[in-house]
A and B are shown apart, each in its own frame.
Chain A
C-alpha cells in the first residue's frame, strides 16, 4: 500500500504526528510493536518541570534557561509560538472535556505518592487537584484497590513545598461488591461506566466531606464516560472533585489513547500493532518504502515521508547490545549522547544522572535525524518523542511535552513543503 506518511510508533509522539497529518488530508499508516507509554503515564502534558533541580513555575519563561545549557535539546528545534500552537491543538483533541492549563504556568498535581508534580496541561478531570490553590483536601481510597493509599498521599502533600498552606486527610471507602474480584484500575473504571458507581460515590461522600474540601479520587472514573461521571460528581457533591493519577495502568492515559486513535480511524488512518519496522528502501537520499515484518513476511510500504517515533530504551527505539554498543533499532541512525567505550554508562545510584540516558538521535530544525557532519540522513525522515537525544525527560519532567511538541512539529515539517489544503475531515 502506498501512503503519504508512515509513522513508526503508537505512543504519544507518533499518535500526535499521525493525527495532525491525517487532519491535513494525508493518508497515514501507523506501525508499532505495541502500544506506547500512554497506558502507563497519567495523561498530563509535562512540558518542563525542573531545570537543574529547581522546580519550574512557568515553562514559557524557563525554557530559555534549559536551552542555554543544552543546544541539542529537542525543544531547541521548536519555535516558541509553535510550542504554544501544538499544545492548544492537542488540548482540543485529547478527549471529551479537554485539557486545562497552559504554557504560562505549571500546575502542581498530586501523584499516587503525594508528590506535587509540575504539569503544564492536565485533563480537566485532574486539574482540580492543583495544590497551589491551598486549602483543605481530602483523598479518597477504595478498599481493595491496590497501590493507592490515601493516607500516604495526604501525609506527603502536606509536606510538599507549596505556595499556599494546605491541610489534607484520608478517607477509605468500601465499594459495593462485584463479580469481578480483582479491583484493578481497568475493572473499577468499567464499573463507573456500567454500574453507576458514581451514584454510590456521591452517597458515600456527601455527609463525610466538608463544603470547603476538595475531593481527590483515584483516576478510575471510567473509560467511556469519565467526563460525564466527573461533572456529575462535582455537581451533586457541590465541591471540587479531581482524579489523582494511579500507578500503571493509567486510565486517563487509556482515554487519551482511545480519543486519539478514534480520531485517527475516523480520519481514515490505518493503525497496525504487533508488527516491526525493520528498515527502509531509499534512493537519492530519500526513503521510498518502509519495510515492516508481519506474521509471516516483510512488506514494503511505499511512502513519501516517515516519522520515527519508536521511543527510547524503554520501548525499544534504542537498544544497548551485549557488546555495549548502542543502536537505533529501525534505521541504525547515528546517535548522540552515547558515552564513549572507556566512559561510564551508568552511575551507581538509581536516581543519579545516568550518562546513557541522554542518548538518542540529533536532528536539524525540521526534526530530521542528522549525521555527525550535520546533514540529514534522509531528506524525508523526521523523528519525534523519546528517540530524540540530549533530553532527560524523567528528570526535567518534560517527556510528554517533548512528545506532543515534536510530534506536532514533525507533522508540520512534512506538511510545509507542499502546504496542502485543509481536508474536509478537519473537525
Chain B
C-alpha cells in the first residue's frame, strides 16, 4: 500500500491542475505548490534528506488529491515528506503540544474558567506566542468545563433499540459537548440506541505535525476501542469529518497502518450526515421537521470532501421546511486543523480563508453551517458569524431543543470570538 501511494507519482503528467487549486500557494511564495513539492520533489527524496523544507508549508487540506485527474496521491505524498522532514529535525515542542488535543483537554477542563480567561487575554496570548509560537490571534475554542464522555455515561437510551456507535472526537468531548448531545438526541429520535465507547484522539493532529510513530499509537489505541463494535456488525458514526476520514482512509494511506482493527473500523465508519442520509434513502429517517425559516450558508470542509460522499448535509437540510441552505464554493477556510494556529502560518491561513469569509459575509446571514469543528472556529473568527454543525439545524428542526437551552444557542456561540 505504501508503495502504491508513492508510486502514484508516476501517473503525474504535470498538468498543473493541482497547482490551480492549491489554496496555500495562491497566497504565499513560501509554498511553491503541490506538484513541485509532491510528485516532482518526491523523486529526489530517497533515503537522504528532503530536497527542500517548503513541504512544511503544505496545510494538508487534501484538495490536490481530490482534483487530480490522474489519481496521484499528492497530499498523501506530501504528508509523508513532511513527517520525514520533522523526523530529521525533531518535532518542535509547540507542535507536539497542539497535536495532543486529549492532553490539552484533560488539563484545561478542570480549570476551564481560568483557562478560557487566559485564552481570551491579549497579554497572556502575547506571552504564549513568544513562548510557544502559537499565534496570539489564532482562533481557540473554549473549554466547556465538562466532557461529553461524562455526560454519555450518565445518559440512558432505549435499551432495546438497535445500536449505533458514536465516535465523537476530541472537539466534541472537551469543547462542544452540546454538539455530542444533539447527535445522540437526533439518533435516538430516529430509533437508535447510541453506544459511546471510551475513546481518545485519532492521531490526526500528530500525523499532520509530522510525528507518525505517536500518531500510530493513538490510532491503534482508538481502533482497539471501536473494533469490537464494528466486528459485531454495528455502524460507527462521527460528526468530526477529519477524524472520521483519518479512520476511513488516512491512517492507512498516510501512516501506512496495516491493522485488522483499523480495517474493520474503516469499513464501518460513516460521517454523521452520510449515515443519516443513508437512513433517508432506506425510508428510515424521521421527517417530522418543523419549519426553520432561515437562510444559512454552508461550507463543506476540505476533509469532508475527502470522504467522496457528496454533501449529504445539504440533502438532509433540504428536507426541513423553509430552511434555505446556500451552498458555498470556496475551497478552504485556511485553518487545516492546527496549521493556522502557528505563528508563522496564521496570516497564510487567514489569507486562504478570505474568499470563504467574504462569501459568508456577503450572504448577510448571522449563522453559517460547516461539518468540521476547527473550520467552524476559523469561520467564526474570520467572519464574526456563528458557525454550527449541520446536526444543530436538524436538532432544532426536529424540535428536540429543551427549555433549559436558550433559543438558538447554537453550540458555536460557546466559542468566544477573538477579535479578528
**Residues in chain A within 8 A of chain B (CB atoms):** 1-2, 29, 32-37, 39-40, 179-182, 184-187, 190, 248-249, 254, 258, 261-262, 265, 270-276, 292-297, 299, 311, 314-316
Smallest CB separation, A369 vs chain B (Å): 22
User: Is B17 in contact with A35, judged by CB distance below 8 angstroms?
Assistant: yes
Residues of B within 8 A of A261 (CB): 329
**Residue B158 is within 8 A (CB to CB) of chain A in the complex:** no
Residues of A within 8 A of B20 (CB): 39, 185-186, 249, 254
User: Is B71 in contact with A316, judged by CB distance below 8 angstroms?
Assistant: yes
Q: With A and B bound together, what is the CA distance between A296 and B308 in angstroms?
A: 9
Nearest residue in B to A250 (C-beta to C-beta)?
B20
User: Is A295 in contact with B69, judged by CB distance below 8 angstroms?
Assistant: no
Q: With A and B bound together, what is the CA distance between A34 and B32 in angstroms?
A: 21
User: Is A249 in contact with B67, judged by CB distance below 8 angstroms?
Assistant: no
1/0 contact trace for B218-255 toward A, CB 8 Å?
A: 00000000000000000000000000010011000000
Q: With A and B bound together, what is the CA distance between A180 and B32 in angstroms?
A: 10
User: Is B26 in contact with A273, judged by CB distance below 8 angstroms?
Assistant: no
Nearest residue in A to B245 (C-beta to C-beta)?
A295
State whether A248 and B266 are in contact (beta carbons under 8 Å apart), knowing that A35-B67, A295-B248, A295-B307 are contacts in the complex.
no
User: Is A248 in contact with B277, judged by CB distance below 8 angstroms?
Assistant: no
User: Is B281 in contact with A180, judged by CB distance below 8 angstroms?
Assistant: no
User: Is B281 in contact with A1, judged by CB distance below 8 angstroms?
Assistant: yes
Residues of A within 8 A of B15 (CB): 39-40, 248
User: Is B308 in contact with A274, judged by CB distance below 8 angstroms?
Assistant: yes
* Known pairs A180-B27, A274-B308 / 15 extra A-B pairs, C-beta < 8 Å: A1-B315, A34-B69, A34-B71, A39-B20, A40-B16, A182-B29, A184-B25, A185-B20, A186-B19, A186-B20, A249-B16, A265-B329, A274-B66, A275-B308, A297-B267
**Residue B13 is within 8 A (CB to CB) of chain A in the complex:** yes
User: Is B66 in contact with A180, judged by CB distance below 8 angstroms?
Assistant: no
Residues of A within 8 A of B113 (CB): none
Residues of B within 8 A of A186 (CB): 19-20, 26
Can you identify 8 A-B contacts, CB atoms within 8 angstroms?
A39-B16, A184-B25, A249-B19, A265-B327, A273-B305, A293-B308, A294-B308, A294-B309
Residues of A within 8 A of B29 (CB): 179-182
Q: Lowest 8 CB-CB distances: which A-B pairs, in order? A: A181-B29, A294-B308, A274-B66, A34-B69, A275-B308, A296-B248, A249-B20, A295-B249
Residues of A within 8 A of B308 (CB): 272, 274-275, 292-295
1/0 contact trace for B68-95 toward A, CB 8 Å?
A: 1111000000000000000000000000
Residues of B within 8 A of A295 (CB): 245, 248-249, 306-309
Nearest residue in B to A180 (C-beta to C-beta)?
B29
1/0 contact trace for B307-327 toward A, CB 8 Å?
A: 111110001000000000001
State whether A272 and B310 are in contact (beta carbons under 8 Å apart), knowing that A186-B26, A265-B327, A315-B69 are contacts in the complex.
yes
**Residue B269 is within 8 A (CB to CB) of chain A in the complex:** yes
Q: With A and B bound together, what is the CA distance between A40 and B245 in angstroms?
A: 30
**Residue B65 is within 8 A (CB to CB) of chain A in the complex:** yes
Nearest residue in B to A268 (C-beta to C-beta)?
B318
Residues of A within 8 A of B33 (CB): 182, 184
User: Is A274 in contact with B306, judged by CB distance below 8 angstroms?
Assistant: yes
**Residue B28 is within 8 A (CB to CB) of chain A in the complex:** yes
Residues of B within 8 A of A35 (CB): 17, 67, 69
Q: With A and B bound together, what is the CA distance between A184 and B269 in angstroms?
A: 40
Q: With A and B bound together, what is the CA distance between A352 and B260 in angstroms?
A: 52
Residues of B within 8 A of A33 (CB): 68-71
Nearest residue in B to A181 (C-beta to C-beta)?
B29
User: Is B307 in contact with A34, judged by CB distance below 8 angstroms?
Assistant: no
Nearest residue in B to A38 (C-beta to C-beta)?
B17
User: Is B248 in contact with A34, judged by CB distance below 8 angstroms?
Assistant: no
| Contacting residue for A316 out of B17, B19, B70, B267, CB 8 A | B70
Q: With A and B bound together, what is the CA distance between A295 and B70 in angstroms?
A: 16
Residues of A within 8 A of B27 (CB): 180
Q: With A and B bound together, what is the CA distance between A294 and B241 in angstroms?
A: 14
Smallest CB separation, A250 vs chain B (Å): 9
Residues of A within 8 A of B329 (CB): 258, 261-262, 265
State whether A270 and B305 are in contact (beta carbons under 8 Å apart), knowing that A34-B67, A40-B17, A295-B249 are contacts in the complex.
no
| Contacting residue for A314 out of B13, B65, B67, CB 8 A | B13
Residues of B within 8 A of A40 (CB): 15-17
Smallest CB separation, A298 vs chain B (Å): 11
Q: With A and B bound together, what is the CA distance between A272 and B307 in angstroms?
A: 10
State whether A34 and B70 are in contact (beta carbons under 8 Å apart), knowing that A265-B329, A295-B249 are contacts in the complex.
yes
Q: With A and B bound together, what is the CA distance between A261 and B331 in angstroms?
A: 13
Nearest residue in A to B269 (C-beta to C-beta)?
A296
Q: With A and B bound together, what is the CA distance between A84 and B129 in angstroms?
A: 63
Nearest residue in A to B11 (C-beta to C-beta)?
A316
Residues of B within 8 A of A314 (CB): 13
Q: With A and B bound together, what is the CA distance between A181 and B311 in angstroms?
A: 35
- Between B17, B26, B311, the greatest number of chain A beta carbons within 10 A of the residue's beta carbon is seen for B17
Smallest CB separation, B45 vs chain A (Å): 21
Residues of A within 8 A of B307 (CB): 294-296
Residues of B within 8 A of A270 (CB): 310-311, 315
Q: With A and B bound together, what is the CA distance between A313 and B266 in angstroms?
A: 32
| Contacting residue for B65 out of A180, A262, A274, A292, CB 8 A | A274
